[in-house]
Amino acid sequence: AQSVAQPEDQVNVAEGNPLTVKCTYSVSGNPYLFWYVQYPNRGLQFLLKYITGDNLVKGSYGFEAEFNKSQTSFHLKKPSALVSDSALYFCAVRDNSGSARQLTFGSGTQLTVLP
């Protein structure tokens, strides 16, 4: 069975500094990985995904994620954080069983960007 872990419940970073939100995964077979963002009382918004190819994936709003197979990680990054990036971030991994069940989500990381 697949699983994903987000080891940090809360990440604080100063505006303008780089940010990293961590994610590690466990799957059998090829990993397919996703990042989502959720603002208060809103649905999740898709940011980016890794399927295959280049280990650095670029997504929406200036976010990118780095796939590292040896460390089984898929950390979300942004070179310069904005206050408006403050939100709840979820990492997800695809179910490789082939069923439509598809995504298993991590527990979420609350990012706060301090002005």
Partner 1 sequence: SQTIHQWPATLVQPVGSPLSLECTVEGTSNPNLYWYRQAAGRGLQLLFYSVGIGQISSEVPQNLSASRPQDRQFILSSKKLLLSDSGFYLCAWSWSGTGIYEQYFGPGTRLTVT
Half-sphere exposure of 104 (CA within 13 A, CB side): 19
Give the residue carrying structure tokens 């990293």. 20
Region for residue 7 given its phi and psi (left: phi exceeds 0; alpha: psi -120 to 50; beta: otherwise): alpha
Does 80 engage in binding with partner 1 (CB under 8 A)? no
Can you tell me which residue has the tokens 């995964």? 25
51 binds partner 1 (CB under 8 A): yes
Residue 28 in the binding site for partner 1 (CB under 8 A):
no
Window contacting partner 1 (CB under 8 A); options: 13-21, 61-69, 75-83, 95-103 = 95-103
Residue 107 binds to partner 1 (criterion: CB under 8 A): yes
Contact footprint for partner 1 (CB under 8 A): 32, 34, 36, 41-46, 49, 51, 88, 90, 94, 98, 100-103, 105, 107-108
